[in-house]
A = this chain, B = another copy of it.
Amino acid sequence: MMRTGPPPHAAADRAEGRTARKRRAILAAGTTLFLSHGYRGTSMDEIAAAARVSKQTVYKQFADKERLFAEIVTSTVDEVARPVHDEVLKLRSSGDLEADLRRLARKLLRMVMQPRILQLRRLIIGEAARFPQLGRTFYEEGPGRTIAALATVFERLADDGVLRPGDPRVAAAHFNWLVMSVPLNRAMLLGDDTPPATAELNRHADAGVRAFLAAYARP
């Protein structure tokens, strides 16, 4: 938001900004509505009204509902996947592996259990038949990327003799799902997006890490 350099002409800025601003408003309104009422449960009328924009403007910016949906989902995936992945990349061995993994697991779990991500996951799963590409994108940018990054780390730890030898991708996947599966599946199915108490999430994370280390750490 901080501008360095010469300020552009005010008029041009306002002119160019208006379209962009409307576009962003449409995306924001659509995101909220799609996430909470699903693809078919959201009408283009509602989106236009929520964005305080005419229906024509919506259709001028996005060819049709499918494409608006795809764009919204894709960009939301990007938006929510990035911080998760960043967290994985921050993993550094400090000597105390359990503490490190526990910190990571807690962080990841808390992120993944955010209402927005739960809704997004539910939305994508519910529309996977109609929009398989979106599911693929979510998988690759989400769990796929996390597991791949963890695998790289675990491979080094195995080389260093900290973890047992074996396919690091299997270990990574097991780590990921040991930490997340219990609360995540529960949330997916129960439709309750208010995140559980941090303490509870931590318990799940810690239990997962404990099982993971018992299975994969060098004795």
Contacts and interface: CB of A to CB of B under 8 A. Distances in A.
Interface in A166-197: 170, 173-174, 176-178, 181-182, 185-186, 188-192
Interface string A110-142: 000000000000111111111110011011000
A149 to B, nearest CB: 16
* Contact-residue bracket for chain A: 35 or more
Given A122-B128, A131-B191, A135-B191, 8 more contacts: A36-B129, A125-B188, A125-B189, A132-B192, A135-B188, A174-B178, A177-B185, A214-B216
Contacts of A122: 125-126, 128-129
Contact of A139 (B129, B143, B190): B190
Interface of A: 36-38, 40-41, 122-132, 135-136, 138-139, 143, 170, 173-174, 176-178, 181-182, 185-186, 188-192, 207-208, 211-212, 214-216
For this chain, the copies found in one complex come to: 4
Contacts of A192: 132
Contacts of A190: 128, 132, 135-136, 139
